[in-house]
Amino acid sequence: MKNIKILLPILGFLCLNIVSVRAQSTDRFIRIVGNSKKEYSAVKAGIAVTVSEVQPNEYRQIKYKPIEVIHQELTTALGKMGYQPSDLIKDIHWGSFQSVRAEKYRLQVSDLSKLQDLYNLSVEGVKFGELKYIFDAPGYEEEEKLALAAINDAERKAKRLAAEMHKKVGKILNIEDKSSGCCREIEDSTQPKAIKSYKINVTFELLD
C-alpha cells in the first residue's frame, strides 16, 4: 500500500508532462489535408463489334452468309458514314467457343455525336456491344498542377485555422504526397466524363 502511494504522484507527474508535450507540438505546427480535382472529357470512344456468320434457316427463309461477306458489308456501311477500314481493329485475343464462326472488333469513333447512328446501323450478322469512352493522358505536367493546387488548398485551410488560434502560418515543414502517379493516365470508361482527384498532407509551421 505504501508503494502504491509513492507511485501515484509519479504517474500523475508523467501524465501532465505528456499532455504538456502534445500541447506544445500542436502550438508549433499544424497538419492539413489539401485537395484538388479536375474533370476531363473523352476525346473518342471504342465500340465492341461482333461479326458472326449467318446460319441458314429454311423456315425463316434465311440463306447462309459467310463471315467474309458480312465483314465486307459492314465496312461498306461504315465507309458511307465516313469511317476507314483501319478504324475497325480486330481483337486477336478473342475467340468464339460457339459452333457459329465469329470475330470481335473494336471500332474507334472520333466523332462522339455519331454514336447513336452507329447503334442504329443494321447489318445482318453484326452486333454492336459495349461502349467505352477514351481520354487523352493528362501527363506529368497536369499532375504537377493538381499537386500544386492541393498544396495551395492546404495552405488556405491552414491560414484560416491559424487565424482562429491567433497565429500565423510559417514555412512548410513536411509534405506527404500519396497521390503521386495517380493522374497521368485515365482508364477507358463507360462515362464520357472523368474526374481525377489529388490529396496531399502538408505540415506548416505555426508562428505567434
- Of 114, 134, 154, which marks where a domain is finished? 134
128 and 48 within one domain: yes
Please indicate, yes or no, if residue 5 is contained in any of the structural domains: no
Q: Are residues 91 and 150 in the same domain?
A: no
In this model, does residue 190 exceed pLDDT 90? yes
Residues 31 and 93 in one domain: no
Cβ neighbours around 166 below 10 Å, total: 7
| 156: alpha, beta or left? (left if phi > 0; alpha if psi -120 to 50) | alpha
194 and 118 belong to one structural domain = no
Q: Both 57 and 68 in a single domain?
A: yes
Q: What is the pLDDT of residues 8-61, one digit of tens each?
A: 343 343 333 333 222 223 678 999 999 999 999 999 999 999 999 998 888 888
Q: Which of 134, 164, 179 is the last residue of a domain?
A: 134
What residue type is assigned to position 75 of the chain? T
Whole-number percent of the chain with pLDDT over 70: 86
Cell numbers 493546387 correspond to 149
- Would you give the DSSP letter of residue 121? -
- Any domain includes 13: no
Q: Give the model's pLDDT for residue 4.
A: 37
Total domains present in the chain? 2
Q: Quick one: 105 and 64 in the same domain?
A: yes
Q: pLDDT digit string (tens) for 104-143?
A: 999 999 999 989 999 999 999 999 999 999 999 999 999 9
Q: Helix, strand, coil shares of the chain as percentages rounded to 5?
A: 40, 35, 25
Say yes or no: 30 and 57 in one domain.
Answer: no
Same domain, yes or no, for 62 and 118? yes
The reply to whether 155 and 122 lie within a common domain is no
Give Cα separations from 55 to 122, 128, 150 (angstroms).
Answer: 17, 19, 59
Last residue of a domain, one of 134, 162, 191: 134
- Residue 4 has φ and ψ, to the nearest 5°, of -60, -40
Domain that holds residue 172: 26-41+137-207
The span from the CA of 30 to the CA of 174, in Å, is 10
State how far the Cα of 172 lies from the Cα of 121, in Å rounded to an integer.
Answer: 59
Q: Which of 68-72, 96-100, 185-189 has the lowest mean pLDDT?
A: 96-100
Tell whether pTM > 0.75. Answer: no
Cell of 193: 466524363
